[in-house]
Structure 1
Amino acid sequence: MRFTSEFIEQVRQANDIVSVISDYVSLKRRGRNFWACCPFHNEKTASFSVASDKGFYYCFGCHAHGDVFQFVMARENISFSEAVERLAERAHIPLPEVEKSAEDMARDKKRDRLYEINEMAGNFFHNCLVKTRYGEPGLAYFHRRHLTNETIHSFKLGFAPDSWDKLTRAFEKKGVTGQELLEVGLAKEKNGHYYDAFRNRVMFPIRDGRGRIVGFGGRVLDDSKPKYLNSPETLIFNKRHLLFAMDKAHKAIFDEGRAILVEGYMDVISAHNRGICNVVASLGTAFTEEQARLLQRQAKELVLSYDMDTAGRQATLRAMEIVRGLGLHVRVVTLPQGKDPDEYINTAGPEKLREAIENAPNVLDYMLMTALKQYDDTTLDGKADIVAMLIPVLAQEDNRIVLETFMKKIAAKLQVDENAVRNEFNKYVTAHPETRQQQVVISRSVYQENAAVRGKGKNAVSEENILRFLVEKPEACARMRELVVPKFFTSTARSGIFEKILELQATQGTYTLADLQPLLTQEESGELARIMVLPEVPMSEAVITDYVKRFRLAELQQQYKEYSARAAAYGQQNDPRLVETLAMCKKIQNEMKRWA
């Protein structure tokens, strides 16, 4: 099957390369990249590097290389199309099909119908809230929680009337059957009769990433149980794969590089109501790996704002375990008097909440503060309890420098011998091998191997950085092609990559990795992968211009060397071409001064 570059890019974005490769080999983070012993050849020290943010892997030992598709192709011995299909399935992305089977068409029709019914229900609940007397208690509730009418409309908040069948009867008149309402979770059935699933509750529509209503959350206004009621799992609603308000928050999360995870719908809405829009919540379930990956695509930092009780601490530990290996830095907000974000933003104001978020400690410091509050650090039993509480958290930390530093910090805080803390840590890790605290030792030959592949040209690093810049900034290519020419590159592989980038820019106006990679030779593909996993150097067009000067000077110096040698030979032979050659030497010298 021939896939469009847009579809390939969609599948690539949905499959984090670290996550995919982690299904086959245990990766450890070292600096910006993740490392492991190569899955394609035998080795005792790690030379296999994965750049999560760039989407490439490269082995400095056997030179295996590529992106997420090439990794699956190599490991599973399958074609590119099969790798795309497998990764699309992994990310729950439907394959584009020219012709669909009757079964597929029936399933799509069913999904569309469920989306339609949910949208109708969203309108029903919202209209009940803002246009009828039935919704007056709900509207008063939202106004007491300081929500503006604009926020109420933006989130399409609603109210389910205090009636057994108000929605059911209204929808039956519109041609929606009781069975359809049952399938979407809006009705229940008893003895052949259908009745409303949500009654006398304020309603929170739950949307997927495309903004479609896939389910609802309902909250009672009194002390009846359950306090919150969510739609059941349906054909279009899977709680593990969704975050409340992600459809509204994703841009703010991306722009700020930070996601704030809270517990309740009102925590989210109150934050958005006051202009803090990078806030989301899990849907009445524990934070899941699928939800973490949604955030990882948009942010580098996750700030947790849970209740500060035992359950909240356990949720914090669980979240830390889930994001481990994803490259997300985790911090924890502790609000005064144990208030939740909804209470705090409405009493202290949004700026105070922003300040608390900015000053939020990392997970280790948060757990240390919590342990010191819970136990008496002046007693032997208290010291032991504090260490016992912290070690499971420490065991989740992959960064050895952080780990060693924090063990020193614990020992100093408790005024105990550092080796005692380390011994307790080692005992815990030995008893819990699932913590995977074994070290990954990066091969000493990595740097020599990289230097050998790079080549000895003095501008080789500049060539690498120019290519990385152009791959990541296609919008700059039109301007760069006026400055950089293929002959500047000393490596045929790097020159080939550059020429194909120029070709794509000339024919398409822009390009993606999906456009570029099929054009590359095996050598060029390996070189691009190696470049993309190297330590990143801050780049800009100004830096590129400086590189161009270096290239031009190097070219002129070579020309000057050649003409000087020619002039020396002409001088010995009394050749009349000497005058012309010396004039060229002078011209090149002047040009060198200009570029220098």
Structure 2
Amino acid sequence: MKFSNEFIEQVRQANDIVSVISDYVSLKRQGRNFWACCPFHNEKTASFSVASDKGFFYCFGCHASGDVFKFIMMKENLTFGEAVTRLAERAHIPLPVMEKSAQEIERDRQIAQLYEVNEMAGNFYHNCLLKTHYGKAGLDYFHKRHLSDATILNFKLGYAPDSWNKLTEAFMKKGISGTLLVTLGLAKEKNGRFYDAFRNRVIFPIKDGRGRIVGFGGRVLDESKPKYLNSPETPIFNKRRLLFAMDVAHKSIYEQQNVILVEGYMDVIAAHNRGISNVVASLGTSFTIEQARILQRQAKELTLSYDMDSAGRKATLRAMEIVRGMGMRIRVVSLPQGKDPDEYINSAGPDAFRTAVDEAPNVLDYMLQTAMQQHDSSTLEGKAAVTAMIIPALAAVDNRIILEAFLTKTARQLQIDESAVRSEFNKYIAQHPEAGQLQVHVSTDILDKNMAARGKGTMAVAEENILRFLMEQPNACERIQTKVDVEFFMNERRRNIYRILLNVYGHQGMYTKSDIQEKLTPEESEELARIMVLQDIPMDEAVLMDYVKRFRLAELQKRYEVHSKKAAAFSHSGDTRFVEELTECKRIKEEMKKWS
């Protein structure tokens, strides 16, 4: 889909590049720019620079570069149109109605068919559960798990018959190809024959934020393996970007400004079944940054209700790392006897679970409490073990005041000297720079790398400053083009960028960043991004005239060398034209004196 440059600029203005990139990497301000270790290649010191005011990023190490759209394209493997759409959605900007190409129309038709077949499959499984004798085992299972009929209907729960090809046969009779069923994970294929992927399982439809079925989860009714079977990734199903039950939970989450994150389908459904509706789950994967961004738009507080075994603690630390810098508070629910939410809600009741959520400690207090329970803090070994458990959580804290206060609190709880805790903390940080607590150290060879990228031309700095100034000040284009000729630019990439700026300005009388960028080659785009993250030089009339003088002198010097070589060659061969060349050399010398 092709968007107008006006719309692209609207989306650009609504998505601060530092805010967007901070969702993926921890940026630290140093000087005018923000810096980080590059997210596109491995490095120990920062060479990735972001110019917030200019809207560009550039890595002096691997030369990854561009604007906010290019960053999203590279990180998420999206097309430009998809990146614009993603960032428009992030800023809640409605997409314009656009005319679509034949290819886009066909792609939309194929996507619509995927949704349609999934909806049919959801109806098939749901009807099998409620309207056929096949579904009795599934219905008994849900009723034993205390689900009401209203909840079963609300979540459109289903049952896959214990049959080789009930769904496949029925759907292929309706003209749906086996290949399409395999694409959606509803069927499998062997030796040219298709058979059902889900058999003898209760079915949990997975929906996107608009309530469309995008995939399915299936649970066995016995002890066979695997216990859970989920749809594969498809063109409409990406587990990293979805949360189970978000379609029914988002309103409650927004109203309460709190979201409860649990691990399993039944944990979510059991909560909703008893009126606790701000509950969602990740989909068989660990909590992802994409899921965190979805929740960040709805809530200020994230309450984790995981199984708090070793894996659960690791998942909690992971969640802390992900939401760092997002402004979300994290608390952790600790349920008695290590019960999961499904068990606890059904045994103790929804009010008891609500109380547990309301009284849930913040994540640092929870980690400290857990560590103190697991180790005897009256012994030296126990104190060391508690410290070792709490420090990784402290390393994920991005608020220095909270960090300092909790270091003091940990020392007080353990009845040890605070300097000992700080020493262990600093040792951990030195060994784990990825924790983000260390000050960003900008690579010492940035200047060398910039010089190499800039090239050896004597006018390189002037070329850079003029281009950067014109990208920010289109209305200065007319004034500068009368003084600086295109051919003055020695570097080919910068010369082409300057030519494009003049041409677009000449045709439109104005230009946006999008107007220019869409006309650049990849190499020119890289060069422009490098220029845009460099330090500004104020472009007043005196500076401009100094550049004009330098350009003129450089151009005259180049012409002088050409004519001087010709004069020498003609003189050597006895050609009388050497007199003309000497005269031209003298004239150029006089002009150089004037400009000097």
Q: Same fold (TM over 0.5)?
A: yes
Give CA deviations for 1:16-51 in whole Å, capped at 9, x if unaligned: 8664142798446xxxxxx7653289xxxxxxxxxx
Counterpart of 1:88 in structure 2 is 84
Give unpaired runs (5+ residues) of structure 1.
Answer: 29-34, 42-58, 441-517, 519-596
CA contact (8 A) 2:55 2:67 kept: no
Report the alpha carbon displacement of residue 373 of structure 1 after superposing the two structures with TM. Answer: 1.9
Counterpart of 1:333 in structure 2 is 333
Give CA deviations for 1:416-459 in whole Å, capped at 9, x if unaligned: 1111001000111111111221369xxxxxxxxxxxxxxxxxxx
CA contact (8 A) 1:303 1:332 kept: yes
Report the alpha carbon displacement of residue 180 of structure 1 after superposing the two structures with TM. Answer: 1.1
How is 1:51-450 mapped onto 2 (pairs within 5 angstroms)? Answer: 71=55, 87-88=83-84, 90-91=86-87, 98-438=98-438
Report the alpha carbon displacement of residue 176 of structure 1 after superposing the two structures with TM. Answer: 1.2
Task: Give the letter for the 2:343 counterpart.
Answer: E
Query: For residues 19 and 79 of structure 1, what CA distance do their matches in structure 2 show?
Result: 10
CA contact (8 A) 1:243 1:291 kept: yes
Report the alpha carbon displacement of residue 72 of structure 1 after superposing the two structures with TM. Answer: 5.5
Change (3 A) 1:37 1:258: farther
Change (3 A) 1:352 1:16: farther
Task: Give the letter for the 2:32 counterpart.
Answer: C
Report the alpha carbon displacement of residue 74 of structure 1 after superposing the two structures with TM. Answer: 12
Three-state SS of the structure 2 residue aligned to 1:261 is strand
Report the alpha carbon displacement of residue 127 of structure 1 after superposing the two structures with TM. Answer: 0.3
Report the alpha carbon displacement of residue 380 of structure 1 after superposing the two structures with TM. Answer: 1.3
Counterpart of 1:38 in structure 2 is 32
Three-state SS of the structure 2 residue aligned to 1:398 is coil
Say which is worse superposed, 328-337 or 393-402, in terms of deviation.
393-402
Say which is worse superposed, 116-125 or 372-381, in terms of deviation.
372-381
Report the alpha carbon displacement of residue 2 of structure 1 after superposing the two structures with TM. Answer: 6.0
Task: Give the letter for the 1:429 counterpart.
Answer: I
Query: For residues 240 and 5 of structure 1, what CA distance do their matches in structure 2 show?
Result: 31
Three-state SS of the structure 2 residue aligned to 1:194 is strand
Task: Give the letter for the 2:33 counterpart.
Answer: P
CA contact (8 A) 1:11 1:87 kept: no
Say which is worse superposed, 262-271 or 382-391, in terms of deviation.
382-391
Query: For residues 71 and 192 of structure 2, what CA distance do their matches in structure 1 show?
Result: 47
Query: For residues 34 and 280 of structure 2, what CA distance do their matches in structure 1 show?
Result: 40
Counterpart of 1:557 in structure 2 is none
Give CA deviations for 1:314-372 in whole Å, capped at 9, x if unaligned: 11111111111111111100001111111111111111111110110111111111111
Give unpaired runs (5+ residues) of structure 2.
Answer: 36-49, 60-64, 73-79, 441-511, 513-596
Report the alpha carbon displacement of residue 248 of structure 1 after superposing the two structures with TM. Answer: 0.7
CA contact (8 A) 1:26 1:36 kept: no
CA contact (8 A) 1:27 1:36 kept: no
Change (3 A) 1:423 1:218: same
Aligned pair count? 411
Query: For residues 79 and 188 of structure 1, what CA distance do their matches in structure 2 show?
Result: 41
Give CA deviations for 1:271-302 in whole Å, capped at 9, x if unaligned: 11111111000001111110010100101110
Counterpart of 2:527 in structure 1 is none
CA contact (8 A) 2:88 2:95 kept: no
Report the alpha carbon displacement of residue 101 of structure 1 after superposing the two structures with TM. Answer: 3.1
Three-state SS of the structure 1 residue aligned to 2:210 is coil
Query: For residues 5 and 103 of structure 2, what CA distance do their matches in structure 1 show?
Result: 24
Query: For residues 256 and 240 of structure 1, what CA distance do their matches in structure 2 show?
Result: 24
Query: For residues 334 and 114 of structure 1, what CA distance do their matches in structure 2 show?
Result: 41
Change (3 A) 1:312 1:230: same
Query: For residues 309 and 79 of structure 1, what CA distance do their matches in structure 2 show?
Result: 40
Query: For residues 12 and 224 of structure 2, what CA distance do their matches in structure 1 show?
Result: 45
Query: For residues 152 and 4 of structure 1, what CA distance do their matches in structure 2 show?
Result: 47
Give CA deviations for 1:525-582 in whole Å, capped at 9, x if unaligned: xxxxxxxxxxxxxxxxxxxxxxxxxxxxxxxxxxxxxxxxxxxxxxxxxxxxxxxxxx
Task: Give the letter for the 2:339 counterpart.
Answer: K
CA contact (8 A) 1:25 1:36 kept: no
Task: Give the letter for the 2:377 counterpart.
Answer: D
Three-state SS of the structure 1 residue aligned to 2:33 is coil
Three-state SS of the structure 1 residue aligned to 2:303 is strand
Report the alpha carbon displacement of residue 257 of structure 1 after superposing the two structures with TM. Answer: 0.5
CA contact (8 A) 1:19 1:326 kept: no
Three-state SS of the structure 2 residue aligned to 1:372 is helix
Normalised TM-score (structure 1): 0.63
Change (3 A) 1:79 1:90: closer
CA contact (8 A) 1:18 1:326 kept: no
CA contact (8 A) 1:320 1:396 kept: yes
Query: For residues 120 and 5 of structure 1, what CA distance do their matches in structure 2 show?
Result: 40
Report the alpha carbon displacement of residue 265 of structure 1 after superposing the two structures with TM. Answer: 0.3
Counterpart of 1:466 in structure 2 is none
Query: For residues 333 and 297 of structure 2, what CA distance do their matches in structure 1 show?
Result: 22
Query: For residues 264 and 12 of structure 1, what CA distance do their matches in structure 2 show?
Result: 39
Query: For residues 268 and 9 of structure 1, what CA distance do their matches in structure 2 show?
Result: 38
Task: Give the letter for the 1:110 counterpart.
Answer: Q
Change (3 A) 1:409 1:134: same
Task: Give the letter for the 1:323 counterpart.
Answer: V
Three-state SS of the structure 2 residue aligned to 1:223 is coil
CA contact (8 A) 1:27 1:325 kept: no
Report the alpha carbon displacement of residue 158 of structure 1 after superposing the two structures with TM. Answer: 0.3
Query: For residues 168 and 16 of structure 2, what CA distance do their matches in structure 1 show?
Result: 43
Query: For residues 208 and 251 of structure 1, what CA distance do their matches in structure 2 show?
Result: 14
Three-state SS of the structure 2 residue aligned to 1:316 is helix
Change (3 A) 1:359 1:18: farther
Query: For residues 40 and 224 of structure 1, what CA distance do their matches in structure 2 show?
Result: 53
